[in-house]
Amino acid sequence: MNRIAKLLVILNGAMAVWASLVFLVFLKLDLLSWVMLNTCSPTQFVTILALASKRRVVMNAVVPWLLFFGSGGLLVFSWSGYMLVAQASHLIMTATAVFILVVAVKERKFRTLATGMAIGVIALVPFRFYQDQFLSAHPELLRLWLGVE
C-alpha cells in the first residue's frame, strides 16, 4: 500500500470511528439505525478493508458509495457548526473515490473498474430504497440527526 492509500486509510478510519462514537455512544442508536442514519461510517470501514486488501474489484465497488454519500453529502449538508466535521469526512470520502479511480485508470484496469463499479451500483440501489423506507418509518431519527424538533 502506498503512502497516499495509507493516509486515506488513517483519515477514513479516524472519521468513521469518531462518527460511530457519536451515533452509537452519545446518541445511543441501535446498530440498524446507525447504519441507516450514518451510512458514511460503514462505507468508510468497508473502504479501509478494500484498500488494505488491495483487491481492485472491491476497491472499485466502494466508489459509487463514496461518491453518493461523500460527494453527495458535500451538497446536502450545511457548512457550519457540528456539520463541519461531517463535511471533512465527506471531503475525505470524495478524495478516496478520486484516488481509487485514478489508480484504476493509471493502471489501465478498465474491466476491473467497470466490474467493481457495476457491483457497487447494484448494491447501492436496493440499499437506498430500503434506507428511504426505514427513515420514512422513523422520522424521529431524522429529527435527531438534523437537530430539529
pLDDT tens per residue, range 116-144 = 999 999 999 999 999 999 999 999 888 87
Q: What is the mean pLDDT of residues 14-29?
A: 95
Other C-beta atoms within 10 Å of 101: how many?
A: 17
> Residue 45: is its pLDDT beyond 70?
yes
Q: What mean pLDDT comes out for the span 72-87?
A: 91
Answer whether residue 82 shows pLDDT above 90: no
Tell me the mean pLDDT in the region 28-44: 96
Q: How many CA atoms lie within 13 A of 50 on its CB side?
A: 24
C-alpha cell at 78: 450545511
**Average pLDDT score, the chain:** 94
C-alpha torsion 23→29→42→145, nearest 10: -60
Check residues 11 and 76 and name the one with the higher pLDDT: 11
pLDDT band at 148 (very low <50, low <70, confident <90, very high): low
